[in-house]
């Protein structure tokens, strides 16, 4: 589709507590192999959208590291398609003005392309399998200038959905009003923070955006449009999605993939005809030792396991020595758990060495986080 | 731009002794070690040596192999001034002819070599498992100023009559080459890895091409002809892990040597540099279910293990269902082993299905090959 471009919005995201202190959620590890943005990029690629701008707010190093060579990873045709990292350099010094809208205004060259008809804005903190080509069809059929993707849920009180936008949709499928989901009711129609704009309309609105407010982001803008200027069409999405907004939701959504039998059957996030692409690291297959005991776990390539691993997720190149026990935990790349250590309910970040002979677990069954590079 | 060394990998053989495994793919494309194809080792070795031009001579069932090689991106040959290209036989002004021997295959691609304009040509076999760089061998070749340097490995005297055997003098200059001698006088076996000074090689190949009695083979014709002409040929002694996986038994054994309990100091260490590069499939990490158990095994991403696995090498997208027991076996990609099945001492070829409660090779020490067609019977 050469008349569509997608903008992946890393400005209006949630944070995952200590986990996203030094990295954006976009490049945070999920299921031991992926970064969250892999899902957005793979959805776009599988939907045939090959022109992609990534609106980076901060921590650009980890994004660039992940995508420096990403053209061949995600694009169907790296020559006809393009993938760019957009940074609002003026905004870097003043975070209040470092918004996605100012980022677009700073990098608005793509808007001058006469063939461009539609702009899709995608989030990274919603984990989902969504076919953007279907969403586009629905938008085009609506004859509206702007659409938002929404989903009816019966778990609006779930912590992961707290404080997301919820919408009231009228019989003509237009949004009547946007509100904040306070979680008081179970049933709601929530926004998936995915927008489709007609490009001409977006050009017009962007020209006026700074005169409305210098600090507006795209969410604010759509709400403002909906209230005063333009009907916003609501496109219903019925598939699987999870919203991540804290360390706890990160842990719960990760573990959910194990509880559902295996990662492959977690709803329809992973399907054979809908591959999730990610960077290649040339890691060897997993070495399972003679005395290891691994049950109900997801183990990424490069791991060496000689100890006990139950109900856990291990990223690349993790080493579990004989006599070590890992339960209900998530361990990131290049961490080494040595003999005598017992982990339970712990997220261990990258490059840690755990070697003191003791139990490491959160108080009262709570989650414990071990930061990157820790040596305990 | 002239290249110092260009590598040519011979990958056209069928590998008949691998039986049904090479029915639809050439031997160099056969899977190995859960994640790799046999040719990954040669291609990675070439890349890790810093050689940026690599031709891969393909012939038998070349489509999968040609496609796998692609633009060489998997091994980094897609960078500037780099090239990896599959070279199957082609039609030329002189007509169409198959590669009639290892030397003929190179002869028919002299135009490719000329286009790269190398000083030296490294010729390798695409079906050996080993991890090395050829830098030291190239240095030795340069230092001696030899016409050809042949990589050799010391083999068991009892085995020596299975190999091409080189006799050398005190300085490792080759005095004699005997293909599969009945009474070997040396235990230095040729690994099928040669470095030639290109101008000498080119002359020899052209002469060999018009010799009606030649079999156009490096071991049988080119090397003996050089020795007859009293050219200087040297042996380069290789030390370390090197396997020719030409039979089902040797393929099975070489896979089993990668298991934690069978590893020793010599075994290929995939974690240490240099890296063996391969295809990275779009797979989920390996998943071990509540009913699953794995011991002493090497398992690639994409595998779903709900049964019992003991001493196995398992590839991507393999599914082993609850209650299935798999022992001492090599399971290639996309294999499904259904509930309650029992598999022992087997190589299961890609895409095969083992039925519910099916028993394969119980109480037998022999290695069996299971292929897709058997499953359809």
First to last CA, chain B: 56
Q: What is the predicted pLDDT for the residue at B180? A: 85
Tokens of B265: 């100091």
Nearest residue in A to B268, CA atom:
A284
Q: What is the predicted pLDDT for the residue at A338? A: 93
Binary contact (B294, A294; C-beta < 8 A): yes
Nearest CA to A4 out of A154, A187, A202, A151 is that of A202
Tokens of B235: 């042996």
More confident residue, A371 or B149: B149
For the entire predicted model, the pTM comes to: 0.89
Sort out which chain A residues have CB atoms less than 8 A from B34's CB and list them. Answer: 284-285
Q: Is B89 helix (H, G, I), strand (E, B) or coil?
A: coil
Tokens of A106: 């700073």
- Using CB atoms and an 8 Å cut-off, which of residues 314-343 of chain A contact chain B? 314, 317
SS3 content of chain A, % helix, strand, coil (to 5): 30, 30, 40
What gap in Å lies between CA A57 and CA B187, rounded to an integer? 65
Query: Could you say which of B261, B290, B298 has the minimum Cβ distance to residue A295?
Result: B290
Binary contact (B289, A276; C-beta < 8 A): no
Nearest residue in B to A311, CA atom:
B290
Question: How many residues are there in chain A?
Answer: 376
Q: What is the CA radius of gyration of chain A?
A: 22
* A274 touching chain B per CB within 8 A: no
* A224 touching chain B per CB within 8 A: no
More confident residue, A105 or B14: A105
Binary contact (A298, B282; C-beta < 8 A): no
What gap in Å lies between CA B190 and CA B348, rounded to an integer? 31
Domains of chain B: 3-250 (3.90.550.10), 284-376 (2.160.10.10)
Is A342 in contact with A358 (CB distance < 8 Å)? yes
Sort out which chain A residues have CB atoms less than 8 A from B314's CB and list them. Answer: 285
Binary contact (A295, B293; C-beta < 8 A): yes
Nearest CA to B191 out of B247, B244, B146 is that of B244
Q: Which of B35, B288, B296, B320 to mutate to test the interface with A (most CBs of A within 10 A)?
A: B288
Nearest residue in A to B270, CA atom:
A284
Binary contact (B284, A263; C-beta < 8 A): yes
Binary contact (A262, B304; C-beta < 8 A): yes
Sort out which chain A residues have CB atoms less than 8 A from B274's CB and list them. Answer: none
Nearest residue in B to A318, CA atom:
B271
User: How many other CB atoms sit within 10 Å of the CB of residue A141?
Assistant: 10
Q: CB under 8 Å, gap of 24 or more: what pairs does B84-88 form?
A: B84/B43, B84/B53, B84/B54, B84/B55, B84/B56, B85/B54, B85/B55, B85/B56, B85/B112, B86/B56, B86/B58, B86/B62, B87/B55, B87/B56, B87/B57, B87/B58, B87/B112, B88/B57, B88/B58, B88/B59, B88/B62
Note the pLDDT tens digit of each residue in A18-58: 888 888 888 899 999 999 999 999 999 999 898 888 888 88
* H or E element, residue B64: helix B62-69
- Each residue's pLDDT tens digit in chain B (377 positions)? 568 999 999 998 777 777 778 888 888 999 999 999 999 999 999 999 999 999 999 988 888 899 999 999 999 998 888 899 999 888 888 777 888 889 999 999 999 999 999 999 999 999 899 999 999 999 999 999 999 999 999 999 988 888 889 999 999 999 999 888 899 999 999 999 999 999 999 999 999 999 999 999 998 899 999 999 999 999 999 999 999 888 899 999 999 999 999 998 889 999 998 999 999 898 999 999 999 999 999 999 999 999 999 999 999 999 999 999 999 999 999 999 999 999 999 999 999 999 999 999 988 889 999 887 765 44
* H or E element, residue B128: strand B128-130
Sort out which chain A residues have CB atoms less than 8 A from B277's CB and list them. Answer: 282
pLDDT of residue A240 exceeding 90: no
What gap in Å lies between CA B153 and CA B142, rounded to an integer? 20
Q: What is the predicted pLDDT for the residue at A264? A: 44
B272's CB contacts (< 8 A; 6+ apart) are: none
What gap in Å lies between CA B373 and CA A158, rounded to an integer? 51
Is A124 in contact with A28 (CB distance < 8 Å)? no
* A115 touching chain B per CB within 8 A: no
Q: Is B187 helix (H, G, I), strand (E, B) or coil?
A: coil
Share of chain A above pLDDT 70, in %: 96
Q: What is the predicted pLDDT for the residue at A259? A: 75
Binary contact (B35, A301; C-beta < 8 A): yes
Domains of chain A: 4-265 (3.90.550.10), 287-370 (2.160.10.10)
Is A51 in contact with A5 (CB distance < 8 Å)? yes
Residues of B with a Cβ under 8 Å from any A Cβ are 33-35, 73, 260-261, 270-271, 275-278, 280, 282, 284-290, 292-301, 304, 309, 313-314
* A33 touching chain B per CB within 8 A: yes
Q: What are the backbone dihedrals phi and psi of residue B135, each rounded to the nearest 5 degrees, phi first?
A: -55, -45
Sort out which chain B residues have CB atoms less than 8 A from A291's CB and list them. Answer: 295
Q: Count CB pairs under 8 A between chains A and B.
A: 112
DSSP secondary structure of B332-344 = -TT-EE-TT-EEE
Q: Is B362 helix (H, G, I), strand (E, B) or coil?
A: coil
pLDDT of residue A59 exceeding 60: yes
- Closest CA–CA distance from residue A130 to any residue of chain B (Å): 18
* A273 touching chain B per CB within 8 A: no
What gap in Å lies between CA A300 and CA A319, rounded to an integer? 11
B344's CB contacts (< 8 A; 6+ apart) are: B327, B328, B329, B360, B361, B362, B363, B364
């Amino acid at each position: 589709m050469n008349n569509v471009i997608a903008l992946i919005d890393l400005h209006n995201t949630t944070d995952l507590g200590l986990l996203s202190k030094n990295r954006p959620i976009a490049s945070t590890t999920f299921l031991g192999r992926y970064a969250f943005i892999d899902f957005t990029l793979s959805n776009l690629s599988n939907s045939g959208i090959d022109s992609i701008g990534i609106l980076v707010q901060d921590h650009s190093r980890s994004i660039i590291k992940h995508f420096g060579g990403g053209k061949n990873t995600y694009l169907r045709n790296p020559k006809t398609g393009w993938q760019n990292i957009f940074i609002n350099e003026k905004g870097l010094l003043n975070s209040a003005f470092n918004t996605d809208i100012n980022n677009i205004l700073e990098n608005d060259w793509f808007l001058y392309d006469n063939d461009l008809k539609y702009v899709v804005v995608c989030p990274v903190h919603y984990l989902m399998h969504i076919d953007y080509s279907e969403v586009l069809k629905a938008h085009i059929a609506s004859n509206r200038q702007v659409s938002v993707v929404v989903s009816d849920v019966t778990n609006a009180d779930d912590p992961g959905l707290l404080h997301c936008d919820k919408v009231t949709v009228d019989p003509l499928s237009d949004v009547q009003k946007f509100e904040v989901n306070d979680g008081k009711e179970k049933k709601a129609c929530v926004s998936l923070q995915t927008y489709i704009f007609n490009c001409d309309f977006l050009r017009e609105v962007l020209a006026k955006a700074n005169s409305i407010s210098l600090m507006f982001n795209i969410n604010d803008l759509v709400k403002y449009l909906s209230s005063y200027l333009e009907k916003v069409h609501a496109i219903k999405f019925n598939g699987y999605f999870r919203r991540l907004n804290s360390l706890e939701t990160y842990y719960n959504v990760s573990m959910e993939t194990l509880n559902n039998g295996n990662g492959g059957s977690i709803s329809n996030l992973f399907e054979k005809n809908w591959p999730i692409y990610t960077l290649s690291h040339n890691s060897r297959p997993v070495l399972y030792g003679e005395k290891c005991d691994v049950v109900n776990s997801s183990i990424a390539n490069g791991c060496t396991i000689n100890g006990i691993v139950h109900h856990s997720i291990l990223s690349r190149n993790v080493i579990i020595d004989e006599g070590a026990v890992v339960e209900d935990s998530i361990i990131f790349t290049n961490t080494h758990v040595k003999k005598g250590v017992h982990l339970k309910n712990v997220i261990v970040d990258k490059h840690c060495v755990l070697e003191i002979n003791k139990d490491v677990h959160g108080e009262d069954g709570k989650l414990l986080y071990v930061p990157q590079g820790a040596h305990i | 731009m002239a290249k110092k060394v260009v590598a040519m990998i011979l990958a056209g053989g069928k590998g008949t002794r691998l039986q049904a495994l090479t029915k639809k793919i050439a031997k160099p494309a056969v899977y190995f070690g859960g994640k790799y194809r046999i040719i990954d080792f040669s291609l990675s070795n070439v890349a890790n040596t810093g050689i940026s031009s690599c031709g891969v001579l393909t012939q038998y069932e070349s489509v999968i192999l040609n496609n796998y090689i692609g633009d060489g991106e998997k091994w980094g040959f897609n960078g500037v001034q780099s090239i990896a290209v599959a070279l199957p036989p082609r039609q030329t002004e002189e007509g169409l002819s198959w590669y009639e021997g290892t030397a003929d295959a190179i002869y028919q691609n002299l135009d490719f070599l000329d286009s790269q304009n190398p000083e030296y040509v490294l010729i390798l076999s695409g079906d050996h498992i080993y991890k090395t760089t050829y830098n030291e061998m190239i240095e030795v070749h340069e230092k001696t100023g030899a016409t050809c340097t042949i990589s050799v490995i010391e083999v068991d005297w009892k085995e020596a009559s299975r190999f091409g055997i080189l006799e050398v003098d005190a300085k490792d200059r080759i005095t004699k080459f005997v293909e599969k001698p009945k009474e070997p006088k040396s235990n230095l076996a040729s690994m099928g890895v040669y470095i030639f000074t290109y101008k000498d090689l080119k002359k020899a190949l052209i002469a060999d091409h018009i010799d009606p009695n030649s079999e156009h083979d490096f071991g049988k014709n080119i090397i003996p002809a050089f020795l007859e002409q009293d050219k200087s040929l040297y042996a380069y002694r290789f030390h370390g892990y090197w396997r020719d996986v030409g039979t089902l038994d040797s393929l099975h054994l070489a896979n089993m040597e990668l298991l934690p309990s069978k590893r020793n100091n010599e075994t290929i260490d995939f974690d240490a540099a240099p890296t063996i590069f391969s295809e990275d499939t779009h797979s989920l990490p390996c998943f071990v279910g509540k009913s699953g158990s794995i011991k002493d095994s090497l398992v690639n991403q994409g595998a779903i293990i709900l049964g019992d696995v003991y001493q196995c090498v398992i590839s991507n997208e393999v599914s082993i269902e609850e209650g299935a027991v798999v022992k001492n076996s090599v399971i290639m990609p996309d294999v499904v082993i259904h509930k309650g099945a029992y598999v022992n001492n087997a190589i299961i070829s890609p895409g095969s299905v083992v039925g519910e409660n099916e028993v394969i090779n119980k109480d037998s020490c022999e290695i069996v090959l299971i292929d897709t067609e058997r499953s359809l019977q």
